[in-house]
Amino acid sequence: MTDTEAKTTRPELNEIASTNDGRDITRGFVEALHYLSPTDKVLQQAGGLESYEELLKDDQVSATFAQRRNAVLARPWTVTPGGTKRQDKLAAKLVQETLKALPWDTITDHMLYARLYGYAVAEVMWVVNSLVKISDIRVRDRRRFVFAPDNSLKMLTHRNPNGEVLPDRKFWVSSVGASHNDEPYGLGLGHALYWPVFFKRNGARFWAKFMEKFASPTAMGTFPAGASDSERQKLLGAVRAVAMDSGIIIPEGTQIQLLEATRGGNASYGEWLHYWDSAIAKVILGQTMTTEDGSSYSQATVHYAVRQDLVKADADLVSQTANSSWVRWLVDYNFAGAAYPQVWRDMEDAEDLEQRSTRDKTLFDMGFKLTPEAVTRIYGDDYEPIEPPQPETKPDPIPAKQEQTAPALAEGDEIDLTPSPVEPLANALDQQSAPAWRKILDHIQQLVNSAPDLPTLRDALLNAYAELPGDELGDVMALAMLTAELAGRYDVEQESADD
């Protein structure tokens, strides 16, 4: 086999760019290390994860980050079976029952802090009875855990500061934000929030000093040349007492003045804080208009969509890491071989039913209608179809020579119900005119079905009056009237002959 044939038939199965063999030039030689350190330079300079915890003390960080997490928790979760087999459905049912028994929203909220710190760690608490089940999922303090050079999780303890090796299928890890797979610690929002919060806090401190200068002038003491150190200290004590006491005494030849602040206004400090608040909102929410006033509807709609993209990504982060860890473990322990179900949160906004009903009405006018299943799914199950009106059934015409005898009366008399000569003609007219009337009624029914409202129907009927198919009906009625006239003349002639 030539080298070319080998290249096309045998793929390379070994990992080449591992970080565990000392060849990663970004970390140096790490094979001999017990665990890796985060590569986040801001985190290293700031002093570790405690510095990112301090960020949550900022009002803007706390409010916007809570807004982002709560937007995920407000959405319902669902479990989708991985297949159609009975075992697949049983596996999905087990996962669904597990989530119902757990405080899933609280667990999700804690795991979402991976966005701020870069990673989150949760311990899965197993219990064995008839099945292997999960009794609880406890999110742990991430500072207790480190990653080995092979990216496996280790736990720091007093007895083992180099990290204890942890059992498999026990800890659920969520890592996010890094631009590559060689950083198991991820890269949290704290990396981008640290300096905006730092500058905002220092600006607030300078603003407080400025307000103090405005509220209370600075006292200045002047001593004569040649004053001794003791005299200077006495003057300094007197200057300090200006801010505390209502009256002071000073040696002769010294002087105390109050220096008033000459600068007015505080707009620059407020703008400084507002700028960094906006920067914080952009980092966490991707925009600013869901935290500020004064935006137009169209702008707010666009910014809301941007925030929803981030919220959906947060929901997918928790769902995907859960699906690839404890959901699989739970299924493997109880339904080995079953297709893995998927846990998701529905992040789609509810459809505007008014717009949907308008669209459905338009489709109906075009000749399409919703299935009963679609009506139930979209509008709910509190509706039932209206039964169409049943056509009236007319009795068969009575033959001309048929005679009917009424029931006998008390005296035994009978009533002669022989039909008059007009009745057979009327019955014949009903039968012969029925097709013509049906065409007219069908035409009117079409106008009723296509009209969106009553005024439109009224105008359509008036305009269509001349188009109604009445020729056939007119012919039938003309023939009937001619027949009736001839029958009447015949009866008159017969009566005259009898007389």
Report pLDDT digits (tens) over 391-423: 666 665 555 544 445 455 455 555 555 555 556
Residue-wise pLDDT for 140-160, tens only, equals 999 999 999 888 999 999 999
Alpha-carbon separation of residue 18 from 25, 31, 47, 154, 212 (angstroms): 11, 11, 28, 19, 58
Query: Which of 393, 469, 462 lies closest to 430 in space, CA to CA?
Result: 393
- Does the pTM surpass 0.85? The reply is no
251 has a pLDDT exceeding 90: no
* Residue 100 to residue 59: CA distance in whole angstroms: 34
Q: Are strands 77-80 and 119-128 parallel, antiparallel or unpaired?
A: unpaired
Compute how many other C-beta atoms are within 10 angstroms of the C-beta atom of residue 425: 16
User: Coil, helix or strand for 342?
Assistant: strand
189, 64 contact by CB (below 8 A): no
Number of H helices and E strands in the chain, helices first, is 17, 10
* Residue 156 to residue 485: CA distance in whole angstroms: 115
Task: Compare 311 and 246 and report the one with higher pLDDT.
Answer: 311
* Residue 207 to residue 200: CA distance in whole angstroms: 10
% residues pLDDT > 70 (the chain): 66
155, 163 contact by CB (below 8 A): yes
* Residue 124 to residue 104: CA distance in whole angstroms: 13
For residue 135, what is the DSSP state? E
Q: What is the largest CA-CA distance in the chain?
A: 166
* Residue 261 to residue 214: CA distance in whole angstroms: 6
